Structure 1
Amino acid sequence: MLGLLQGAWRYRHFITSSIRNEFVTRFARSRIGGAWVIIHPLSMVLIYALILSAVLSAKLPGIDNQYAYAIYLTAGMLGWTLFHEMLNRCLGIFIENGNLMKKMVFPKIALPIIITGSSLINNVILFAVILIVFAVLGHFVPLALIWVPILTAVCVLFALGLGLTLGILNVFLRDIGQVMPIVLQFLFWFTPVVYPVSIVPPALQGWLAFNPLYHLITAYQSVLVYGQAPSLKGVAIVALLGAILLAFGFILFRKASPEMVDAL
């Protein structure tokens, strides 16, 4: 693992320039540029907030604000968007860059690092916009500046560990890339992003604890919605699981790396 990290450090300029070029190229021909980073998640929040708050007249316990559901959904989407983007991109990172891996000599571990940097930039922009929106809505959360960076680090650890592992396996077993979008759909609705945990029947609430994203997303909601510190136990569980997955991913990468180029 140390050797992989040393190789990535030697190519740090390649990594940083790749992150910058990816961000610039992504919006090179777009008239509104980087605004698309925030338009997609915020549009989903707007749709769900309109349906749940206005159409269904839903109420959110513990928040005395007419925009309560918009605030709740935005908090959940901040964590989910980062996880979803990193996992989705890691799934195909080695397959999509197969030609680059064959033509250039560079540490292949740089590819998921580039994805991590790019996803973090998008998430930081989204977080800054969310703070502005909250301020406009009269919702102030001082704890956000302390806890959100910590939760972001845990989310990155978990998403990168899972994404790296699945991305390597996807090179040799392409069915993984086909089935994961379906799994993510189920996982989204099995995670309290668009609904509060209180509406889930008590008999089913226990099952949510087996979902690592449940602990992560509720931590985001505790901080951004209720202005409370998250459950340290839940955050620690996700961090530990992420560390185990990342270590396993590095081991798997080291063993499979010589064969990946041939498989591609």
Structure 2
Amino acid sequence: MTKVKKIFSHTHALRLLIGRELSSRYKGTMLGAVWLFLQPLMMVVVYSFVFSVIMKVRIPGMENSYHFALFLMAAMMPFFAFQDAILAASNSLFAGSSLLHKSTLPALLIPLVPMLTTIITEFIALLIIVFATFLLLKQVSWFLLLLPALMFIRLCLSIAIGYIVATLSVFIQDLRQALGLLLTMLMFLTPILYPVSMIPAEFIPVNNFNPLYHLLDAYRAVILRAELPDVAVLYVAGFSVVLLLLGVYFFQKTIERAKEFV
């Protein structure tokens, strides 16, 4: 906890590093930071057109022609933020090796910076989805005020796993190559592209152990169903906090050894 508190004494440096991280992504592009809005906007437009106009996908209880596209994006955007955070963490010690060796900043900040930037991209994507839901479904509710809490839980879960992955990727080089495949498998095994009702009954208990399922369903609850998320999201919150503390502890115990390899 002392190490975690030490981060707050470097909030100014953290803001500068996050700004540098975001600007480096779009450096040299004509549109610059506009891409932060353009990318999720284009995804919503394309997914809505393909699934609602061309494929005309319908799910029972979701009769609006655009409902499936919004159903998909409401869970996919948070998952993409989770995925981006894990992938960024896996390469963070290599990309920030100069800071790791030459800077007096806590090593905890190096994987934290790219993971924190995902909250900005996720926030922009969710704004677009909420606005699309209002336009296409004529729906908006006070439960949307719970979105920041869900984003915070998602961020805690991402950072927890990210800290573990950051140092493991130094010792196990193949992990960085395998992460993309593992995260793709996780996306297909989590009810993102399909409703939970399509999962065979014998696999439902296994799915219920997946914290991402409960978290992403909570996003759908407040955005699409205009209802309070299931109580299971509270267990996910508790699990994320405990895992975060374990992740920080693991990172602190292994970072000195990891420095020898980056």
Tell whether the structures are fold-level matches, with TM greater than 0.5: yes
What is the Cα deviation at residue 50 of structure 1?
A: 4.2
Using a 3 Å threshold, how does the CA distance of structure 1 residues 155 and 171 change in structure 2: closer, same or farther? same
Using a 3 Å threshold, how does the CA distance of structure 1 residues 252 and 106 change in structure 2: closer, same or farther? same
Q: Name 1:180's counterpart in structure 2.
A: 179
User: Structure 1, residues 103-127: CA drift from partner, whole Å, max 9, x if none?
Assistant: 2221111123322331111112222
Question: Any conservation in 2 of the 1:79–1:217 contact (CA below 8 Å)?
Answer: yes
Report 1 or 2 for greater relative contact order, CA contacts < 8 Å, sequence distance ≥ 6. 1
What is the Cα deviation at residue 48 of structure 1?
A: 4.6
User: Structure 1, residues 212-263: CA drift from partner, whole Å, max 9, x if none?
Assistant: 2111111111111111111112x12322221222111111122122222212
Q: Which residue identity is paired with 2:122?
A: N
Q: Which residue identity is paired with 1:254?
A: Q
What is the Cα deviation at residue 42 of structure 1?
A: 4.8
Distance 2:158 2:236 in 1: 10
Query: Structure 2, unaligned stretches of length 5 or more?
Result: none
Question: Any conservation in 2 of the 1:154–1:242 contact (CA below 8 Å)?
Answer: yes
Q: Name 2:102's counterpart in structure 1.
A: 103
Instruction: Specify which of 233, 236, 242 is matched with residue 244 of structure 1.
Output: 242
What is the Cα deviation at residue 194 of structure 1?
A: 1.7
Aligned Cα root-mean-square deviation (Å) = 2.0
1:1-264 matches, cutoff 5 A: 1-2=1-2, 4-233=3-232, 235-264=233-262
What is the Cα deviation at residue 148 of structure 1?
A: 0.9
Distance 1:204 1:212 in 2: 15
What is the Cα deviation at residue 16 of structure 1?
A: 0.7
Distance 2:45 2:203 in 1: 28
Using a 3 Å threshold, how does the CA distance of structure 1 residues 188 and 122 change in structure 2: closer, same or farther? same
Distance 1:5 1:101 in 2: 17
Distance 2:128 2:55 in 1: 27
Distance 1:134 1:104 in 2: 46
Distance 2:217 2:162 in 1: 21
**Secondary structure of the structure 1 residue equivalent to 2:225:** coil
Distance 2:199 2:51 in 1: 16
What is the Cα deviation at residue 44 of structure 1?
A: 4.5
**Secondary structure of the structure 1 residue equivalent to 2:64:** coil
Distance 2:185 2:47 in 1: 17
Distance 2:42 2:214 in 1: 25
Distance 1:12 1:247 in 2: 20
Distance 1:247 1:27 in 2: 33
What is the Cα deviation at residue 156 of structure 1?
A: 0.7
What is the Cα deviation at residue 96 of structure 1?
A: 1.6
Q: TM-score, normalised by structure 1?
A: 0.90
Q: Which residue identity is paired with 2:213?
A: Y
Using a 3 Å threshold, how does the CA distance of structure 1 residues 50 and 129 change in structure 2: closer, same or farther? closer
Using a 3 Å threshold, how does the CA distance of structure 1 residues 195 and 139 change in structure 2: closer, same or farther? farther
